[in-house]
Each structure stands twice: as C-alpha cells, then as structure tokens.
Amino acid sequence: MRKELEIAGIRVGCGQKVQTYVRVPDTDLCFPCTFINGKEDGKIILASAGIHGCEYPGVMAVMELGREIDPEHVSGAIILIHEVNMSSFLKRQPYVMAADEERKNLNRIFPTDGSGTLADRLCCFLSEEFIPGIDFHVDLHSGDMVEELEGCVIVANTPDEEQKASLIEIAKHTRFHLRMNSGGRREFYNSSAIHYGKPALLFERGHSGYCRRADVDDDKADLLSVMSCLGILPGEPEENPDQVFFWRHEWTQAQEGDNGILLPFVKLGDEIQEGQKLFEIRDMFGELIRTVHAKHDGHVFIISHTLSVTEGDDLIAYGQV
Ligand SMILES: [Zn+2]
C-alpha cells in the first residue's frame, strides 16, 4: 500500500488525483499542476511543459494526460506541470519569461539559489520543491514561435554513465526519429540530472507556434511509454527501429554585431556539408555584415525563420548521424 504523496506543499492521498495551481511563495506566480498518486508503490515521474511559454504540443499533452490517467492504474506517482511559464503563455511571448524584470530565458539559469529576479525564484522553487522527491524527469519543449524543428529526444548530460545508458534505452522506446546527448548544463532537465542526480530526458516536438494534433498525440504516447518503461503504468513499449543517433551536433547563435536581417541559404531537413553557406547577415541597408558557414556535415533539425536577427539569437542546429 502506497503512502501519501507530498510535493511542493501539495498532499495527495493514496489512489487520489489533485489538480491545482501551485504558487511560488511570496510572489504572484502560480502554475497549473496535476498530482496523481497511485495505489501501489513505484517510481515518481515529473513531466513539465512550458518552460518556454509558447511551445505548445507538450502543454496540451500534459493537460490531457492529467485528465485521462486513472490513479487506479498507477504504481508510484505522476506529477504534471502543465505550463511553467504562465506569463509568457498568456502574453504569447516566446523564449523568455514575460513577467520577469530582466526577461530571462528560464532554460539558461538553472541552478539558481533564487536570489536575483522573479525568474530565479521560479526556477529555484521548481528545483528545490519538485526535483528531490522524484525518480525521473521529462521536460517537454518544441521549436519556439520563430523556428522550425524536426522532433528529437535529448538525453540529459548526466555525469553517471550507468544512468546515461538506461536513459538511452528508455529514449529508444519513444517515437522520435532523432536522438542525441545533451552537452548543456543550465537547462531544467540537465540541472535535475547534474545537480540532483535524477535521470532526465527532453522532448522537442512541434514548432512555429502550432499545436498540431499529431504532435500532441506523439508527446502523449511517448510520455506513456516512458511511464511504462519505469513500471509506473502497465504496458510493454516497443523499441523504435527507425531512431537514429546524432553523435555530434552544433547549435549556432548570432554573435556580437549580428543585428539586422537574417537571410537563410538552407532549410529544415537539408543535408549540409562542412563549410557550406548557411546564412548571410545584412544590415538594414542590405550591406553584408557576416556570412555563417557550417562547422561540420549534418542534418538541419532546427532553423530560425525570422527576418530579423539580434546578437544571442538561436539561428540553426544540425547534427551528424
Ligand atoms: Zn524550449
């Protein structure tokens, strides 16, 4: 018999489901969550959506699963954060947190002790209240409103090789065609793995501000698959025979002085070669500022589609199978 679940100040009895907003103490910030406590013992998974407020399929997937999953079938517990970054969701603000004084990108500031701005307090609360009590974390993202993307599953940059191997096994049981290992450190899921020792995956699916039914269904299926792999839900998911692994990948950002017009010379899904021209960056009179070239061969899986560009903007990501 499983005992009561207590996470982030919310108490959930055995075999119960609670749907509520969770408030970050001493702020006006709150976000919608579902807590499902099973009847039998087992692992606890956190699935969080909306670190970037306008990456939609994961938000719908989590919201629908929160309604559909019956605690009767759960061994362990399921915690769903439907939308972390509510101010950006409501204001239609890509990348950054609309309510934050410095409009920080939440996925660049983990871990944080909470001193600083509102964004730091939110991220500190997420880490300290949600992560210590869980066994597994999935963070759901998409290409943001200003970029196109091919879906991929990313394995957290865990320092534990055994944990990484089991994460890869679970990732292979998702519908994603592309899989890669993260080299990051300051994202929510990487911080869960690096600073709290919790296995974590990131899902990237959907793009450009769309919330397509097929992407929502795939996110739901893959979350259910991960939960089955962990024994939280019944079922035996099958390995995806079509999944490929990027052994290296490059994420290119705009550099200092890259302020003006972004002209692409490649598109999503292109196979590119080392040295190939990817973009021209021109000023507002059309004069060339800089040309961006590929650092290695690869397959383009993310590309920005805005005409404007500013220093620090994400431009393109490509990986090599
Ligand atoms: Zn994102």
User: Can you give the pLDDT at residue 243?
Assistant: 98
User: Can you give the pLDDT at residue 298?
Assistant: 97
Distance between CA 131 and CA 188 in Å, rounded?
A: 10
Exposure string of 67-76, with b = 16+ CB inside 10 Å and e = fewer, is: eebebeebbb
Ligand 1 center to 1 CA (angstroms): 38
Ligand 1 center to 263 CA (angstroms): 23
User: Can you give the pLDDT at residue 2?
Assistant: 80
Average pLDDT, the chain: 97
* Ion ligand 1 neighbours, Cβ < 5 Å: 52, 55, 141
**85-117 pLDDT, tens per residue?**
999 999 999 999 999 999 999 999 999 999 999
Distance between CA 224 and CA 142 in Å, rounded?
A: 18
Ligand 1 center to 109 CA (angstroms): 13
Based on the number of CB atoms within 10 Å of its own CB, is 131 exposed (0-12), middle (13-18) or buried (19 or more)?
Answer: buried
Distance between CA 215 and CA 156 in Å, rounded?
A: 22
Residue-range domain boundaries for the chain: 5-244, 247-320
Distance of CA 24 to the CA centre of its chain: 21
Ligand 1 center to 144 CA (angstroms): 6
Residues 6+ away with beta carbon under 8 Å from 224: 65, 233, 235, 237
Which string of DSSP letters, residue by residue, matches 7-41?
ETTEEE-TT-EEEEEEEPTTSS-EEEEEEEE-SEE
Domain 247-320, CATH: 2.40.50.100
User: Can you give the pLDDT at residue 230?
Assistant: 98
Nearest alpha-carbon partner for 38 in 78, 95, 86: 78
Tell whether the model's pLDDT for residue 1 goes beyond 70.
Answer: no
**20-53 pLDDT, tens per residue?**
999 999 999 999 999 999 999 999 999 999 999 9
5-244 maps to CATH 3.40.630.10:
yes
At residue 185 the predicted structure's pLDDT band, cuts being 50, 70 and 90, is very high
